[in-house]
Each structure stands twice: as structure tokens, then as C-alpha cells.
Amino acid sequence: MRDTVLMTEIRRPVVAVLTALLAAAGLCLSAGVVRADETPQWRYTLVGFSNDSARDMDVYESADGTDFTVVRKSAYRPPTGYVRDPSIMRHADGRYYVVYTTAAGATIGIARSTDRRTWQHVRTIPLPLCCAFLHGTGDGTGSSAPPPLSGSAGFDEGPSLSPFTTKAWAPEWFVDGGRVNIIVSLSTGGGFVPYLLTATDSSLRQWGWPIPILGIGADHIDTTVIKVGSRYHAFTKNETRKVIQHAVSPTLVGPYSFVRPGNWGSKVEGPAVVKLPNGKWRMYFDAYTKRKYLYSDSADLTHWSAPKQLPGLSGTVRHFSVLREPARP
């Protein structure tokens, strides 16, 4: 009996040591092995043009919204014109769609893909009329614009008297309650105004008449919108001051009210906002004069981190958009 007790007392510390060693070994092994529950939950697809070509769209992907790898370079070239400022979404039909600046006057283009690698042109949308009689849409030469900004529209120069669109730039998808919309910046030669178009059929070939988004005003471009709860957040470039501003509204068409933006610097444009795997929001933007692409994060859309360069792509990509969707198994 004494021998049995003695052996039991000896075994206890030995078992404890072995258990600790096995646990440590398990930790070491797990550090080098990706478990099934560590499979990425999200996939981020980035589409953009580059400093090398505004006629070709490149496609990248990421599991975390930071480290992107190439899906396909020069994945799409439109039949005519450019493919600047592409915006990507996944439609209810399961296909991917991009809408983009053609830089061919008052038109924007749409293309689609089933695999993000091969793209087919869908149609070019003409937007012949806009902006007439809207405040601040004059030709940008009025005396009220302080130097050295006299060449920019958007000051108290009065409205444009022309109803004919000369530029349709920076279109962005926005899907709200199953309704597919495009937010696009239109101009008759003066300040850009954000407009809203809504698809009237599921093929995205037929569109309603563009209507101005209220509260943001003239001389704003690159407007993109996200919805958080019942509130709409617009991020837009003030073309006069060359900064990105933040505005909020209870409805998509406004009226929007400007709120305090992040410290994103000046001479920046092309904001794109997505939610990260950790639940925070990330805004990507183009510091175009420095040929750098930056990002800034926020947990509440009020307090934003200091901008950082996007690794691997900064200096290569230009105005892009990012789609977040569940990762496929």
C-alpha cells in the first residue's frame, strides 16, 4: 500500500511536467499551421487603373484589406476611351459589375464579369443634361474666387446657364435595399455636382433621369456613400480646397450636412470606404501629387487614424474601389 501511494506521489509531478511539455509543443506546432477556423472570412476585390495606363483596369484581391495580390493585370480595356475611377459591385445575378469614367464627354461605361478576370462591355450610358441653374456651377472664372483658386468653380459665381453636360466623372455604385444606384459627378464646364441615377431594370441597361444630391453642393467630385444603420455617410472631394470632406444625411439624396473629417491632408481624392474584418472602417484615398495611395481607419467614422501608405500598391494604382464579400470556401 505504501509503495502504491509513493508511486502515485511520484507520478503526479511527472504527469504535470509531461502535460506542460505537450502543451508547449502543441503551441509551437499550431504557430506554423493554419487551422480550419482561421480560414479568411472575407475577400476584398480592388479594381483600379494605374499610373502606367488609364485604358486598362487591374484587379487585385486581399483577405484583410491591407495586403493585396494580383488577380489579373489589364483585366479589362473598354472598346473606346478610358477606364478611369472604376467602381465594383456584385449584382443580384451573381456577376461582378464595374462602372467607370470613359473621359469621352458626357458618358460613363459599364462592364461585367463572372470571375473578375475576364470582362465584357455592357453599355455606355449617355448623360447629356445636368446642372443648369444650380448654384455654384458657373465656369469658374468669377471674381469671387480668391487667388490662387480663381480657376476653380464652386464659389458664389451664380449658376450655369447651360443644361448640357460636358463631363461625367467618378461614378460609384451604391446598392440600397436591393435598388441599384450610381452616384456620378456631372459638370457643364464649371463645378462638378453629385447626381444620383437609379436602375429601372435588373439588366442595368435602363436608367432613370439623374437627380442632384442635396446639401453637398457644387465643386465636389469623387463622391462615395456608405450606409450605417439608418444614416448615410458621404465622402467627397472638395475640388476647390483639394481635401476630402465627410457629410451625413438621413436619406440617400440628402440634404447632407458636413461633419468634422479626419486629418487626411490636402491634394487627396478618390475616397473608397469599406469595413475591415475587425469591424473597423477603412478609407483608401489617392495622394495624387505625391503618387502615393494611403488609408486611414476608424471604429466610429468620427475618429480616424493617421494615414499610412497601402503596402505593395502605393505608387502604382490610381483611383480605385474595393468590394468586400464573404470568402468562398
Q: The CATH number of the domain where 261 resides is what?
A: 2.120.10.10
Q: Are residues 69 and 215 in the same domain?
A: yes
Can you tell me the distance from the alpha carbon of 68 to that of 64, in angstroms, rounded to the nearest whole number? 8
Cα(268)–Cα(246) distance, integer angstroms: 13
Q: Does 214 lie in the same domain as 319?
A: yes
HSE of 72 in the Cβ direction (CA atoms, 13 Å)?
12
Do 144 and 244 sit in the same domain of this protein?
yes
Number of domains, the chain: 2
- Tens digit of pLDDT for each residue in 167-200? 999 999 999 999 999 999 999 888 899 999 999 9
Q: pLDDT tens, 195-236?
A: 999 999 999 999 999 999 999 999 999 999 999 999 999 999
More confident position, 24 or 241: 241
> What's the grid cell of residue 261?
473629417
Q: Output the pTM of the full model.
A: 0.83
Do both 284 and 187 map to the same domain? yes
Q: Are residues 168 and 98 in the same domain?
A: yes
Between strands 120-126 and 107-113, the pairing is antiparallel
For 49-108, what is each residue's pLDDT tens digit? 999 999 999 999 999 999 999 999 999 999 999 999 999 999 999 999 999 999 988 999
135 and 52 inside one domain: yes
Confidence of residue 158 (pLDDT cuts 50, 70, 90): low
Residue 162 and residue 248 in one domain: yes
Predicted pLDDT at 148:
41
**Same structural domain for residues 126 and 262?**
yes
Q: Which domain holds residue 18?
A: 1-33
The mean pLDDT of the chain is 86
Task: Looking at the structure, tell me whether residues 166 and 61 fall in a common domain.
Answer: yes
pLDDT at 17: 40
Cβ–Cβ under 8 Å, residues 269 and 237: yes
Q: 35-39, 127-131, 141-145, 289-293: which has the highest mean pLDDT?
A: 289-293
Same domain for 25 and 53?
no
227 secondary structure, DSSP code: E
- Higher model confidence: residue 40 or residue 240? 240
